[in-house]
Chains A and B, each alone.
Chain A
Amino acid sequence: MDRKCATRLLTTLLLVISGWWSVTAQEFALPSAPNSVKFAAIGDNGTGDPPQYEIANQMTRFHAKFPFDRVIMLGDNIYGGQGPQDLVKKFSQPYKALLDMGVKFYASLGNHDDPVNSRYPLWNMEGQQYYSYSTKNVRFFALDSNKVDQKELAWLENALKSSQDEWKICYFHHPLYSDGGTHGPSVDVRVVFEPLFVTYGVNVVFSGHDHIYERLTPQKGIYYFVEGAGGQLRKGDTNRSATTAMAFDQDQSFMLVEIDGNQLSFQAISRTGTTVDSGTIQRQVRPAAPVARLRPPAR
């Protein structure tokens, strides 16, 4: 075998391997059980730029295999202008295919969002900065981490306490834990939210704000995800630490999540359709332990 032939063979082999890797990487990693709860998560998405559209296209593509019926939005849903035309360019147009298929979006607001847009019908907030809804055995709590007042905390405590759902999922913009280099964790919010989460058995928390994808090691028994790269991206912005279970900061991304019984499966997918993280979480069964709770000023 001459050198030329060997080179060709090696090139072909490399192409086959990379093609195979590419196909498997784009493979779908979720069980997609017929009666499971399926949803997607995006954060910091509303730029109106091509990467947001490309993520939206990937979401549509994956929807064919994994028919999620809702998308949770982790804030900064619209950047810059917030008028009707912006809502079209930065929301209803990129996600048109999903909206047309009946997928519902449930937003929480980020610091770049205009509070007025909580009345935007396609975000299903009904004018509320924080709200709750459920499907099957899962209850979602969309919170406002921008301005946390006693009213919100009282509402959250009451809502968590009265929820009999097996899974309690909270989502909001500012992460309680994050290894994002630009922002990092919002500790001031953590000290008021976390005790409630722990006391009332919140299972998983999703946030945005840092423009990366990150899965953190469980904190006080709760799983935390940061998904703030649904349109924005800060390449290489992860300061890996002991709390980093997995991080991806090289491309925009979104998450798919499935809850079937006591099992939650997740998959983080990049703009090119590559799976950057996936796994399974067993529902934590924790006795409601009394935790010292902190209240913000009485006002």
Chain B
Amino acid sequence: MSEVLSRRRRIALRVSGFVLDYLIALPVGCAAALVWANTFPESYYRFAHATAFLVNDVGIAFFFALITKEVAEATIPGGALHPWRRAALPVAAAVGSVVVSIACYLAFVHNAGEHMLEGGWVAACAIDIPGSYIIARLIFGRHPAVPFLLLLAISADAIGLACVAVLQPIGDAHVAIGLGLMAVAVGSAAVLRHRGVKNFWLYLLGPGTLSWCALFLGGVHPALALVPIVPFFPHGRHDRGLLVEPEPQAHDTLTLFERWWRLPVEGVLLLFGLVNAGVPLHGLETGMWAIPIAALGRPIGIVVAAGVAIAAGLHLPERVGWRELLVVGCTASIGLVFALFFASAVMPLGPLLLEMKMGALVTVAGGGLAFAAARLLRVGRFAR
């Protein structure tokens, strides 16, 4: 027993503080929201509607910035995305995951007669990066399946974010102004990088703010504002891996940015859960199952797409076989934060949004599904 505990502690210590914060802040926020929304719904919805913009359009941008930081670091030597072709198979699997998930989603809402939900298909793409990572680490420990899953999740979410940005314009879009401002934002970030500026605040306050305004005015979700800016932050020479704690002596801009923003982002995640996870536990329509059904289709999409990619000449990572791939697919069925974000981005407030949010919360069960699949297939920790 003590051996198991110490092993668990070691596993926990190897993941980044960002993931551990996520593990604490988000569930607390979600649980508080569920209790509040089901006891004093009127005051809850007043609070949620009043703070949604601040949290979902401003605060969560820093969460996406930390995720972008992981991706940016993954492109440097030692990173999972270095060289880029290493990501080819996870990207192919992500495409399969997205296609099958969306197909399952649309098929379900059509057959359930929930036609109004058809516009929310983007939420079917969502894979919760920190959530699925935690489950994958618990199942696989340190194993090539984990970075494979992370790359897959990042790719699927990137497709979803692109769909949100391009296909779901928000408000009255001033595209020309938005593009102009974005060009200035990216250009100024490039100038800062070229001049060797290491203070991340200068990147955030200048290019970051401009980027947020560019997206907001351009009709694109402004939560993505820091995604094009963070890659310009100076970074270290080597990457220790996706979502792995940086070395204590590391003082590059990306690492300093993560260290400073970890705590505020923990607060943002708590608020994100609080603002978005408050759904009535009673009275929702069958449409709430659309996102979980889509998530269930995800392992099929991943396995099929990976099969096609392998037939086309790509290779699975070492020690990753079909059984591992299927468990990775089950792990990727967790949508949580990303599904909540996509749902809020594409669906205005109302009962349909609540159904989608409930569906996003239900996908947490994907963790149990992944454990069951791993046990059944004798994969990861169950292989022994």
Contacts and interface: CB of A to CB of B under 8 A. Distances in A.
B49 A191 contact: yes
A149 B346 CA distance: 11
A111 interface: yes
A84 to B, nearest CB: 15
Contact of A191 (B42, B115, B171): B42
A297 interface: yes
B287 interface: yes
Interface of A: 79-80, 82, 109-115, 145-149, 152, 174, 182-184, 186-192, 294-299
Given A187-B42, A296-B348, A296-B349, A147 B116 contact: yes
Given A174-B350, A188-B351, A299-B57, A112 B49 contact: no
Contacts of B353: 147, 188
A191 B349 CA distance: 11
17 contacts: A82-B115, A111-B114, A114-B116, A145-B351, A148-B349, A148-B350, A174-B350, A174-B351, A184-B280, A186-B351, A187-B42, A190-B42, A191-B46, A191-B49, A297-B53, A297-B57, A299-B221
B170 interface: yes
Given A80-B113, A111-B287, A294-B49, A192 B349 contact: yes
A297 B52 contact: yes
A297 B114 CA distance: 24
Contact of A299 (B49, B116, B171, B350): B171
Given A111-B287, A174-B351, A295 B49 contact: yes
Contacts of A186: 350-351
B352 interface: yes
Contacts of A149: 348-349
Nearest to A190: B42
B379 to A, nearest CB: 40
Contacts of B52: 296-297
B267 interface: no
A189 B42 contact: no
Contact of A111 (B49, B50, B116): B116
Contact of A188 (B53, B56, B116, B349): B349
Interface string B145-174: 000000000000000000000000011000
Contacts of B350: 145-148, 174, 186, 188-189
B55 to A, nearest CB: 9
A82 B114 CA distance: 11
Given A79-B113, A191-B42, A299-B170, A147 B282 contact: no
Contacts of B116: 109-115, 146-147
B178 to A, nearest CB: 14
A194 to B, nearest CB: 9
Nearest to A112: B113
A186 B349 CA distance: 11
A295 to B, nearest CB: 7
A146 B170 contact: no
Interface string B87-120: 0000000000000000000000000011111000
